[in-house]
Amino acid sequence: MQKFIVTGGKRLRGELRLQGSKNSSLPIIAAAMLCSDECVLKNCPRITDVYAASRILNCTGCKCSFSGNTAVTDSRCMNNNEIPENLMSEMRSSIIFMGAMLGRCGECNVSIPGGCELGPRPIDMHLAALRKMGADIREEMGRIRCRATGKRLHGARISLAFPSVGATENIILSAAAADGETIINNAAREPEICDLCGFLRKCGADISGDGESRIVVNGREKLHGCEYTVMPDRIAGATYLSMAAASGGEIILTNACVSEMEPFLSVLEQTGCSISADENTIYLRNGSRLKAVGDRIRTMPHPGFPTDAQAVLMSALLKAEGTSVFEENIFDCRYRHTDAFMKMGADIQVMGKIAVIKGVKRIYGTSADATDLRGGAAMISAALSAEGTSEIGSIYHIDRGYENIEKAVRLLGGDMQRVGM
Ligand code: UD1
């Protein structure tokens, strides 16, 4: 099993090019299934979740291959609409292939993606919406069999009880190839939704309103391939900025999506670091001890503070002057990284959805397993600002979303190695 060995105490300094977005690449790879020919997807991160998405595409007879950060997909030979359980369980987002397959061939057979490390993640909204669009859905022994009752799904007016990112994506994917108009009310407004819609529009889809809470999709019988560049990863960006801030460093983040990162940057700025930005570059400098964030940090759907950045920002606040308070409103079980932080000497109290962080002067290296993707990245960040050496295990969680994270940290002057087989 591989581990990361991280020795803290170095100020991170330097320039880093931000990787492409995981949460955009996954639905866009699924969307490529809707196209009748080749798609060239640039700026795809080389991470295990993206490879899992490509394996799903390949198992349906579509092709997906990589050359560096470019993925080339070809969906002409699709011949299978059944995804085996082992592929479905590799990542929770495999569920978005359901909408794409229903859109492409009016039929699919997938398995329930299963529980995950952030607590229960139901898919009731996905299923209710697809049923409203004419899908007959049967759940038997962990499998979900879906079939359009007509030849294709039909458009529908859908109001989501919560702006779920995955449900919004599944509806968009199936609606893009459905018969007629679909209206999604209370749609998720995450930038990755806009990226998916941007890709689909380039393939000939008729979609408007993405980025707002009412999205309108007019189904098309056929979509064509295109060349598309995936947006930068705002959460990886938040991670490297938090690491640099925690270490008292200085970083230039290029290829960044500055406006999409505003909800994070405006909170990080309250810690007293100096942040400036132009169109796609962020400069961060922090020469002194960070200050606690005065306002409660509430995770919310976009444009609120992103839940995916909660753990990494917390890692920067462990040694801040004063007390910071987080309120996690999206997932039930998203403070599991706090055990490792406390083992490092952090002063944290968790009560349900609230976590209170009282800044301490020092934290110390420890051994701990990554609990989940962002929690694992946050442990690396904490380890970089701790005294001594940390050993972080279960790093397969981290590899799901970060492209060569140890190389990025070392480029910034951090001391981090990957060891083991
Ligand atoms: C996506 C992101 C994930 C991010 C999350 C919230 C991807 C690949 N993943 O996950 O990184 O943390 O958005 O920004 O893009 N829910 C239901 N029923 C449903 C669907 C969701 O109750 O049918 C609940 C979930 O349990 C959760 C909340 O809604 O509590 C938000 O989930 P959702 O927005 O769907 O997150 P994901 O799409 O899974």
| pLDDT over threshold 60, residue 331 | yes
What's residue 141's pLDDT?
Answer: 84
What's residue 408's pLDDT?
Answer: 98
Element (H, E) at 218: strand 214-218
Say what the pTM is: 0.97
Percent of the chain exceeding pLDDT 90 equals 91
What's residue 114's pLDDT?
Answer: 59
Q: Give the position, in ligand 1's atom list, of the atom nearest the Cα of 127.
A: 23
Condensed to tens digits (0 to 9), the pLDDT of residues 220-277 reads 999 999 999 999 999 999 999 999 999 999 999 999 999 999 999 999 999 999 999 9
Q: Give the position, in ligand 1's atom list, of the atom nearest the Cα of 373.
A: 11
Q: Alpha carbon of 101 to those of 278, 326, 380: distances in Å?
A: 40, 39, 38
Query: Hey, what are 263's tokens?
Result: 């909800």
**Ligand 1 environment, Cβ below 6 A:** 23, 26, 93, 121-126, 162, 164-167, 188, 192, 307-308, 330-331
Distance CA 230, CA 118 (A): 26
Distance 59 CA to ligand 1 centre (A): 25
- Are 234 and 260 in contact by the 8 Å Cβ rule? The answer is yes
Catalytic residues: 116
Distance 186 CA to ligand 1 centre (A): 14
Q: Give the position, in ligand 1's atom list, of the atom nearest the Cα of 331.
A: 30
- Are 93 and 26 in contact by the 8 Å Cβ rule? The answer is yes
Write the DSSP symbol of residue 94.
G
What b/e sequence results for 218-243 when a residue is b if at least 16 CB atoms lie within 10 Å of its CB, and e otherwise? bbbeebebbebbbbbbbbbbbbbbbb
Write the DSSP symbol of residue 89.
T
Rounded mean pLDDT of the chain?
Answer: 95
Quickly state the pLDDT bin for 122 (edges 50, 70, 90).
confident
Q: Whose CA is nearest to atom 4 of ligand 1?
A: 308
What's residue 299's pLDDT?
Answer: 98
Q: Give the position, in ligand 1's atom list, of the atom nearest the Cα of 306.
A: 14
Distance CA 163, CA 96 (A): 15
Pocket test for ligand 1, best of 112, 164, 239, 402 (most atoms within 8 A of CB): 164
Pocket test for ligand 1, best of 117, 131, 162, 312 (most atoms within 8 A of CB): 162
β-bridge mates for residue 291, sequence order: 321
Query: Hey, what are 407's tokens?
Result: 């190389």
